[in-house]
Structure 1
């Protein structure tokens, strides 16, 4: 833990920090997921190709949302990238596993098409469940001075 970071003092503060970190992660993941699902579905790609694109874009957007303020703080790109990787990798990974597994196991969700309520409802549901299951992951990381805790000195 760096000398600049102070872990939240109470369980409530820690949970609040974890929720904020997970919302940050959800934003990047949702942008990437939705864009990937839309592009893959629109192009008629297989479920596998669509999921791979969605995951790649989720990581790209997730890391981009983290690295931008870190770069603004004056950190060099290589160091800022290291902060983004440390802050978000586990959180995005958990969110992506949960979200994509749910999209694949909800009957018909991946094949429903972009005009279907099933597609959009399943995607919203899967992102919501991914959020709920990722909050405890971020809570543990932050309590140990890891995850989004490594970013606090750059805000």
Structure 2
């Protein structure tokens, strides 16, 4: 496997972490609160973007960037990846019979959520590979880290 594919897998895994935190929290809260499908999906998507951006923002800040630079890097690197994962993830949940109505205490709820995230990961890897090959997406963050590493 070449380096570009490895980097795309690593970048996607990073995005998946933020998406998973947001998705799980969104599904837990909306199910607990008895929200319908639209509210559940909206909250899960909003939290997936929030946590996805937050993880990148935090990492870039730790690397020494100011808040504005870190926010710009997070938006540039994560938007398409998270959007891809959220579209695939939510479509999967919507097509699994009973998944949207499943309670927190059911195997169907957790199975469909886990599989939807796995399917979203597989869908986003080639998207991230394509973006990174063009110097976009997570390549933005990698360039920042590379430039910062050279300062030490």
User: TM-score, normalised to structure 1's length?
Assistant: 0.91
Q: 1:118 aligns with which of 102, 108, 115?
A: 108
User: Structure 1: which 5+ runs fail to align?
Assistant: 1-10
Between the aligned partners of 2:44 and 2:130, the Cα distance in structure 1 is 26
Give 1:5's aligned residue.
Answer: none
| Counterpart mapping for 1:86-125 below 5 A | 86-125=76-115
Provide the residue aligned with 2:139 in structure 1.
Answer: 149
Residues of 1 paired with 2:18 and 2:62: CA distance?
Answer: 18
Asked whether 1:134 is paired with 2:101, we answer no
The DSSP-based 3-state class of the residue aligned with 1:147 is coil
CA distance in 1, matches of 2:5, 2:63: 26
Runs of 4+ in 1 over 3 A off after TM superposition: none
Residue correspondences, number: 145
- CA deviations on 1:43-98 (whole Å, 9 max, x unpaired) are 00011101100000000000011011111222221121111000000000000000
Counterpart of 1:62 in structure 2 is 52
* Structure 2 unaligned spans of 5+: 146-152
Task: Report 1 or 2 for greater relative contact order, CA contacts < 8 Å, sequence distance ≥ 6.
Answer: 1
Query: Does the 8 Å CA contact 1:69/1:154 hold for their aligned counterparts?
Result: no
The root-mean-square deviation of aligned C-alpha atoms, in Å, is 0.9
